Structure 1
């Protein structure tokens, strides 16, 4: 049995109209209609709510429909993507911050009588920001390509 048929059957067992189910899920009646007719699928959050409402396992809902299973897998990858991308964005930003600090200290030393020394050595301050930014850019690009393929 595909998801739409399963949803319609379970809704019927409870004696609910599409409108009543929609209210319980905080969606429109049209959304419920589209799900039942196989024109569209709910998000994973809605699937969890449906599972709770009807006392079914998510497995019972997903295994009934291969297309829905594929969509849920795709959505889960989309949820993981921003978290991974955030790490690369933070690394890139750290590289930019280090570079700005280095340039600021160089300008400060050049135009004032201060002699500020950067801790960590020349190699760290000369190459560190570049390594962070390049690594983050490459990692972000690889992640973007992997996400496109999935």
Structure 2
């Protein structure tokens, strides 16, 4: 018996409709239907909830369904790969941020400029691994983000004020570019401080 057959039989045995199960699990009825027909599988957390709802052990749900076991094995492989990439991206961010800042303060040989582009792209990649809900749940992260954003905005406007008076169009473009770069500095720095929110770095 497949996983879908098992949960459908268990649901009917408890005299529940797909809509009632969906309401209990806080998912859509189509999701429950998709599980029962084998078009998709629940994640591990939802699998535990199904086990509790139908009073079936995880072993009973998973046994004798090679397709489902293969699904979770593939998910585990992808999770490990994602964890490895996030670790590499996180530590690469630290190194590249340091090099980029040094290069801004004291320009290095031309080849080093390419590392700034790599840093920029790496920050974008790192954004995909951040648990933003967990990140902004911490009060200190919210405060740091707001303070950094305000300070950098004021600093950029102040530094561009003389140019703005002489050439507004040029200064506006320069200010926009500076704000964009500064935004990535803030994000990159906060990612270093909040490594617990990066996928793969969570404890």
Structure-2-length-normalised TM-score: 0.47
Secondary structure at 1:11 match in 2: helix
Distance 1:32 1:71 in 2: 17
* Corresponding position of 1:85: 85
Matched residue of 2:21: which SS? helix
1:20 aligns with 2:8: no
Task: Name the residue aligned to 1:49.
Answer: 49
Question: Closer, same or farther in 2 for the Cα pair 1:51/1:97, shift >3 Å?
Answer: same
| Larger Rg over CA atoms | 1
SS in 2 for 1:5: helix
Bigger CA drift: 72-81 or 43-52? 72-81
Task: Name the Cα RMSD after superposition.
Answer: 2.4
Instruction: Tell me the residue number matched to 2:99.
Output: 99
Contact 1:3–1:62 (8 Å) recurs in 2: yes
Q: How far apart in 2 are the matches of 1:28 and 1:97?
A: 43
Whole-angstrom CA distance in 2 between matches of 1:31 and 1:44: 15
State the shift of 1:34 in Å: 2.4
- Structure 2 spans left out of the alignment, 5+ residues: 108-114, 123-203
Three-state SS of the structure 1 residue aligned to 2:78 is: helix
Length, aligned pairs only: 110
TM-superposed CA distance for 1:61, in Å, is: 1.0
Distance 1:68 1:105 in 2: 55
Deviation at 1:104, TM superposition (A): 4.9
CA distance in 1, matches of 2:28, 2:40: 13
TM-superposed CA distance for 1:88, in Å, is 0.6
